[in-house]
């Protein structure tokens, strides 16, 4: 009989040493040194150094050691940057670190870097019976390519004592990981779907599970009523129970959808699921200080943070399973640690992470403990409202520099560093030359001269910020520094998926931008860090558009989930005699729109939202409607830049009982255009003015031209698809439950064009074309029919 394989607990060398050996203060004055962005550029420099080293140098060597513990195997693994096979059988482990700093100030290796090299040295020595090992820390300035090395010889005996002490300190964490996984896996075995399956829901759950099992990606068009959150989380949890993955990332664009995911996991927990879940909240929302300034002089939680945070995490893991903002704040207060850093550290030990897209995809924000080393993890990515990821992806992988920022920094720094003033002046001069050549926006083939100048500036800023104390304007200069670093890092990504252009913003400031027009390649690099990704959205049409822009793989699956709602629950009317086209924006058209609002909302007393293409258009129609209304309905209007409290007060108006209708005027694609859940009679109708086309802009035109060349249909990619997505999101506010009934009015004759009708979801196959003359009667017929059905239902 074959011996059953032992359970394993795995940890990377980097995570092991950084977790166990950290101590002291949390200090952004150190973190804000030039090393912040080094990780992005470091891999390229690694390869460059490795190629120079000759035949005796072996690069990127995977090393792992299995330590037999009483109940499990502890696997410590990673990749040594290099192993040098020298004369007399002398073996040296090389640990390469790309940094943005003046190497003259580095007099000894950084502790965690030396510790990584020692781990690899011990593993190699044990496996190859070496009595002595060399370790070498190679530091390379990423701007100047200057190199500084620190070398030493260590006996196996010294390495073994040191390594086993490190493992002993980690032992309780490994024990916890093993014990908790046993509990989690056992709880999943008998876990059942918590509700009776809706129509088509069981098939969707099966589709998700099969996709994860095959380690593929799935795109789901999931209309309202599908129950998309439970239909993705449940099969993902079941897959974890069968060892198809170990951690679930539920990725959202907005906090509200993260809360729904948390509630869904809590529901499964009520049915026996045992798991630890963290909601990662933005630092600004977790910080306990008036101003986010993470250093021991400004924040008592930063002083000695690393001396206490591991105890805080361990205590939290033993006593809680759901780590919300409130739980984290309470624990941070108890142990006097930074709540945001506590949140990130806790994430290393949980089963489910609910977070914003940027923690997985954004190269400046992503969770480095999971994604930095390039090692693939046993992760499932569930991407909610994934239509948002196209524009968010473009933002994450684009970079912009403003000419005026160089002048501002030059004025601040001229009294502090003559050399830095000169480098800033050179960058400004180059930007000035590009500005003189730019009347409108200008497509640039390359900006190599600017890149060279920025590298020189970056190197000089490195030296300056390492030795500088506080001075007026330092934060502003640091901001430029990080912008420069990000610009240089994004430059390394620039390829056929980018457009480089110069332009002026609304305030007349001149900028140069690396615009990531197609984010699919960059996003795919992140997706490849996991086993499987499930993208889902209620507005994912045309599906081919999203498949092309969110992934580069050709074998992705796609399904159209079946909604449980009936077509009879809603009336869809399309106005054939009105439009919001720019050429028809006049007082006559505004009046006709206002009359449509009055007639549709006048057919039944209730709550309505009217969505407009812009604030300006909304104001024009609202002004006319105010004259027509004559006090018959209560009106609300969305304002630009509403704060959270104002948004809450706005939505609270839909909860009030009224004698008259409530008509809310909102902007399509804004904060009320998606993600709000006004169930039952809190909302009985939406009116959508226009086809949602994004406003004309230089960047939209760049998108259009790019996809004209690449796909032959630039207008669709730049305008029509994003516009119809906003329309469908706005329309989706009406029918939220099986009991909801309501009206959707599309107020633009362009909806009847074939190109737009082809983008209608299946649920919109039946619609009525109306005019201002008959729309009120059409809507009244619908409501009369609903009243008759309701009366009949009561009699039965």
Clarify whether residues 607 and 671 are in a common domain: yes
pLDDT value at 46 more than 80: no
DSSP assignment of 753-790 equals SHHHHTTS-GGGSS-EEE-TTTHHHHHHHHHHHHHHHH
Judge whether 3 lies within some domain.
no
- Bridge partners of 57, per DSSP, are 84
Find out whether 772 and 596 touch, Cβ atoms under 8 Å.
Answer: yes
Judge whether 2 lies within some domain.
no
Clarify whether residues 125 and 236 are in a common domain: no
Judge whether 184 lies within some domain.
no
Across the beta sheet with 607-612, the strand order is 633-637, 661-667, 607-612, 685-689, 742-747, 570-575, 768-770
Find out whether 519 and 549 touch, Cβ atoms under 8 Å.
Answer: yes
pLDDT value at 680 more than 90: no
How much of the chain is in helix, strand and coil states, percent to nearest 5?
Answer: 50, 20, 35
**Measured over all CA atoms, what is the biggest interatomic distance in the chain, rounded to whole angstroms?**
98
Q: State the helix-helix crossing angle for 474-491 and 403-413, rounded to 10 degrees.
A: 140
Q: pLDDT per residue over 281-329, tens digit each?
A: 988 889 888 788 888 888 999 999 999 999 999 999 999 999 999 999 9
Strands 399-402 and 510-516: antiparallel
Clarify whether residues 79 and 13 are in a common domain: yes
Clarify whether residues 740 and 608 are in a common domain: yes
Clarify whether residues 556 and 581 are in a common domain: no
> Which residue range forms the structural domain that includes residue 25?
8-173
Clarify whether residues 427 and 458 are in a common domain: yes
Clarify whether residues 62 and 91 are in a common domain: yes
Q: Tell me how far apart the alpha carbons of residues 122 and 553 are, in angstroms, rounded to a whole number.
A: 40
Q: Could you write out the three-class secondary structure of 623-658?
A: HHHHHHHCCCEEEEECCCCCCHHHHHHHHHHHHCCC
Please provide the average confidence, as pLDDT, over all residues in the chain. Answer: 92
CA angle 94, 100, 106 (to 5 degrees): 65
Judge whether 307 lies within some domain.
yes
DSSP letter for 502, please: E
21 three-state secondary structure = coil
Clarify whether residues 648 and 506 are in a common domain: no
Whether this model's pTM surpasses 0.75: yes
Q: pLDDT per residue over 404-427, tens digit each?
A: 999 999 999 999 999 999 999 999
pLDDT value at 2 more than 60: no
Backbone region of residue 712 per phi and psi (left: phi > 0; alpha: psi in -120 to 50; beta: other values): left
DSSP letter for 764, please: G
Provide the number of structural domains found in the chain.
5
pLDDT value at 4 more than 70: no
Span 363-369, mean pLDDT?
Answer: 86
Clarify whether residues 683 and 736 are in a common domain: yes
Q: State the helix-helix crossing angle for 448-467 and 418-436, rounded to 10 degrees.
A: 150
Clarify whether residues 609 and 714 are in a common domain: yes
Give the confidence band of 43 by pLDDT, cuts at 50, 70, 90: low
Clarify whether residues 334 and 372 are in a common domain: no
Span 239-252, mean pLDDT?
Answer: 97
Judge whether 510 lies within some domain.
yes
Judge whether 467 lies within some domain.
yes
CATH code: domain of residue 470: 1.10.275
Span 547-558, mean pLDDT?
Answer: 96
- Bridge partners of 98, per DSSP, are 140
Q: pLDDT per residue over 124-163, tens digit each?
A: 999 999 999 999 999 988 878 889 999 999 999 999 999 9
Clarify whether residues 391 and 457 are in a common domain: no
């Amino acid at each position: 009989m074959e011996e059953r394989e032992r359970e394993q607990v795995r940890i990377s060398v980097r995570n092991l040493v950084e977790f166990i050996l950290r101590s002291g203060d949390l200090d952004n004055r150190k973190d804000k040194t030039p090393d912040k962005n080094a990780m992005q550029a470091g891999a390229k420099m690694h390869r460059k150094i490795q190629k120079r080293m000759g035949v005796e140098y072996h690069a990127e060597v995977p090393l792992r050691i299995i330590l037999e513990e009483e109940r499990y195997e502890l696997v410590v693994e990673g990749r040594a940057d290099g192993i040098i096979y020298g004369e007399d059988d002398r073996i040296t482990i090389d640990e390469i670190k790309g940094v943005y700093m003046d190497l003259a100030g580095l007099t000894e290796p950084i502790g965690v870097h030396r510790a990584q090299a020692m781990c690899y040295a011990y593993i190699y020595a044990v496996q190859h019976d070496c009595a002595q090992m060399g370790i070498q820390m190679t530091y390379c300035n990423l701007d100047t390519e200057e190199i500084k090395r620190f070398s030493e010889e260590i006996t196996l005996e010294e390495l073994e004592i040191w390594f086993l002490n490190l493992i002993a300190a980690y032992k309780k964490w490994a024990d916890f990981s093993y014990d908790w996984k046993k509990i989690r896996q056992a709880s999943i075995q008998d876990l059942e779907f918590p509700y009776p399956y809706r129509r088509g829901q069981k098939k969707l759950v099966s589709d998700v599970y099969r996709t994860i099992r095959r380690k593929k990606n799935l795109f789901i068009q999931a209309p309202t009523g599908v129950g998309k959150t439970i239909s993705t989380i449940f099969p993902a949890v079941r897959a974890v129970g069968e060892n198809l993955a170990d951690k679930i990332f539920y990725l959202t664009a907005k906090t509200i959808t993260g809360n729904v995911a948390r509630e869904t996991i809590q529901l499964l927990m009520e049915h026996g699921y045992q798991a630890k879940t963290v909601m990662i909240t933005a630092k600004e929302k977790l910080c306990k200080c008036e101003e986010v300034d993470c250093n021991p002089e400004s924040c008592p939680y930063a002083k000695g943070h690393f001396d206490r945070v591991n105890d805080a995490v361990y205590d939290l893991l033993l006593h809680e399973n759901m780590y919300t903002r409130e739980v984290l704040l309470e624990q941070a207060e108890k142990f006097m640690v930074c709540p945001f850093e506590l949140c990130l550290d806790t994430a290393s030990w949980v089963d489910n992470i609910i977070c914003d897209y940027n923690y997985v995809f954004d190269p400046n924000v992503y969770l480095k403990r999971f994604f930095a080393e390039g090692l693939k993890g046993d992760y499932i990515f569930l991407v909610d409202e994934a239509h948002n990821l196209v524009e968010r992806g473009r933002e994450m992988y684009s970079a912009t520099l403003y000419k005026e920022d160089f002048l501002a920094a030059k004025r601040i720094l001229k009294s502090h560093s003559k050399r830095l003033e000169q480098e800033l002046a050179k960058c400004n001069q180059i930007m000035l030359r590009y500005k003189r050549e730019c009347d409108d926006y200008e497509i640039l083939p390359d900006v190599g001269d600017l890149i060279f100048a920025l590298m020189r500036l970056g190197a000089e800023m490195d030296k300056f910020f390492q030795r500088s104390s506080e001075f007026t304007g330092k934060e502003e200069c640091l901001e430029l520094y990080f912008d420069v670093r990000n610009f240089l890092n994004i430059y390394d990504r620039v390829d056929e998926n980018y457009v480089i252009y110069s332009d002026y913003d609304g305030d007349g400031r001149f900028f140069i931008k690396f615009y990531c027009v197609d984010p699919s390649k960059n996003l795919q690099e992140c997706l490849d860090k996991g086993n499987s990704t499930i993208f889902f959205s209620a507005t994912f049409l045309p599906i081919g558009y999203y498949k092309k822009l969110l992934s580069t793989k050709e074998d992705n699956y796609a399904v159209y989930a079946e909604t449980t709602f009936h077509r009879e629950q809603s009336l869809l009317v399309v106005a054939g005699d009105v439009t919001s086209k720019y050429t028809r924006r006049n007082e006559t058209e505004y009046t006709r729109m206002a009359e449509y609002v009055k007639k549709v909302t006048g057919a039944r007393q209730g709550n309505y939202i009217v969505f407009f293409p812009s604030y300006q258009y909304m104001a024009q129609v609202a002004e006319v409607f105010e004259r027509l209304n004559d006090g018959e309905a209560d009106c609300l209007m969305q304002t630009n830049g509403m704060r959270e409290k104002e948004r809450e007060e706005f939505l609270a108006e839909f909860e009030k009982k009224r004698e008259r209708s409530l008509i809310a005027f909102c902007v399509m694609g804004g904060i009320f255009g998606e993600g709000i859940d006004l169930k039952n009679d809190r909302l009985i109708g939406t009116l959508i003015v226009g086809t949602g086309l994004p406003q004309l802009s230089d960047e939209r035109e760049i998108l259009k031209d790019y996809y004209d060349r690449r796909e032959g249909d630039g207008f669709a990619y730049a305008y029509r698809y994003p516009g119809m997505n906003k329309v469908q999101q706005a329309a989706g506010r009406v029918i939220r439950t099986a009991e909801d009934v309501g009206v959707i009015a599309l107020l633009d004759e362009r909806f009847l064009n074939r190109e737009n009708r082809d983008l209608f979801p299946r649920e919109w196959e039946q619609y009525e074309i109306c005019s201002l003359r008959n729309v009120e009667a059409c809507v009244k017929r619908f409501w009369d029919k609903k009243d008759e059905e309701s009366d009949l239902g009561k009699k039965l």
